Amino acid sequence: MLLSITVVWGSTFVISKELLADISPFTYIALRFGIASLLFAALVFRSIRIMPRSAVIHGSILGFLLFAGFAAQTVGLQYTSASKSAFITGMMVVFTPVCQLLIERRPPKIGNVIGVVLVTAGLYLLTSPAGSEFNRGDGLTLICAITFGLYIVYLDIYGKQHDASHLTLVQFVSTFVLGTASALLFEQSRVNMTTGAATALGYLIIFPTIVALYVQARFQKDTTPTRSAIIFSIEPVLAAGFAYLLLNERIGGIGMVGGGLILTGLLVSELWDALIRHGRAGESLE
């Protein structure tokens, strides 16, 4: 389930970058999560009629982290390419195990560590070609990656305590409120709602927001934060494919090697335990 929503998220970088030509960043966040709040509340009305206060508090914390990550990523996307934004966001695979260790006092497994090393190497190759120097958009996106690393860990903690629909709705409402406040305070709001912009916004509201964030809240608690982050690391590879097809952004041969390392790291992290069990079973048969 987490891998399936990662495929959806891989498409959002190209679509969001194009949409920012018609809608200013904070207004875009406010519209996306405001409409998502209304639609999601209508879908899960029965299950949210009785919501414990702790779910509101914890959902608000997650909503703050979600907004901070989206805000840094969206503003940064104005100054960097869609593919590069996705690759730097993928650095959350490095920050998540650090946050997990500091917050939950739970070290990652050896397979996860090997996967993180491989993915980090892959991301380095994807973000360091000549002519692609680090800029302010990249810096904002790096802040986004750190924030999403924190978000994944706290979702692991709170997701085990509360109903997924409660956490999801509070996150949406919190992000909408913060996005609206930021639009009023920090930008000259701009909305040019063309047919293409409306279609793109509708897609971003339904699939990467309502569906994907609910699925993440529902299923991430069944695995570990580090393993989740490594699964999500496939996102920049998918985003690079969409950016190539739709925006003609190219990552070159070194970037292809980096993408291969990311895939390898994902497979090692996911299959390590099974490989160890298989090896031990083979030894016992001998």
Give the phi and the psi of residue 246 in degrees, each rounded to 5.
-100, -30
Query: Between residues 2 and 240, which one has the greater pLDDT?
Result: 2
Query: Between residues 56 and 130, which one has the greater pLDDT?
Result: 56
Predicted confidence (pLDDT) at residue 131 exceeds the cutoff of 70 = no
Q: What is the mean pLDDT of residues 186-197?
A: 94
The structure's pTM equals 0.85
Q: Of the candidates 272, 243, 268, which has an alpha carbon nearest to the alpha carbon of residue 255?
A: 243
pLDDT digits (tens, 9 = 90+) for 22-80: 999 999 999 999 999 999 999 988 887 789 999 999 999 999 999 999 999 999 999 88
Q: What is the mean pLDDT of residues 230-237?
A: 82
Instruction: List b or e across 187-221, with b for residues whose CB sees 16 or more CB atoms inside 10 angstroms.
Output: eeeeeeeeeebeebbebbbeebbbbbbbbbbbbbb
Task: Check residue 262 and give its pLDDT.
Answer: 78
Contacts of 47-54 spanning 24+ positions with Cβ under 8 A: 47/163, 47/165, 47/166, 48/165, 48/166, 48/169, 51/166, 51/170, 52/162, 52/166, 54/161, 54/162
Task: Check residue 279 and give its pLDDT.
Answer: 66
Query: Between residues 266 and 166, which one has the greater pLDDT?
Result: 166
Question: How far is residue 124 CA from its own chain's centroid?
Answer: 18
Q: How many residues does the chain have?
A: 286
Which percentage of the chain shows pLDDT scores above 90? 48
Q: What is the mean pLDDT of residues 132-137?
A: 75
> Among 21-35, 194-208, 212-226, where is mean pLDDT lowest?
212-226
pLDDT digits (tens, 9 = 90+) for 165-189: 999 999 999 999 999 999 999 999 9
Torsion of CA 55, 57, 62, 66, to 10 degrees: 120
Q: What is the mean pLDDT of residues 113-121?
A: 85
Average pLDDT value over all residues in the chain: 87
Q: How confident is the model at residue 256 (pLDDT cuts 50, 70, 90)?
A: confident
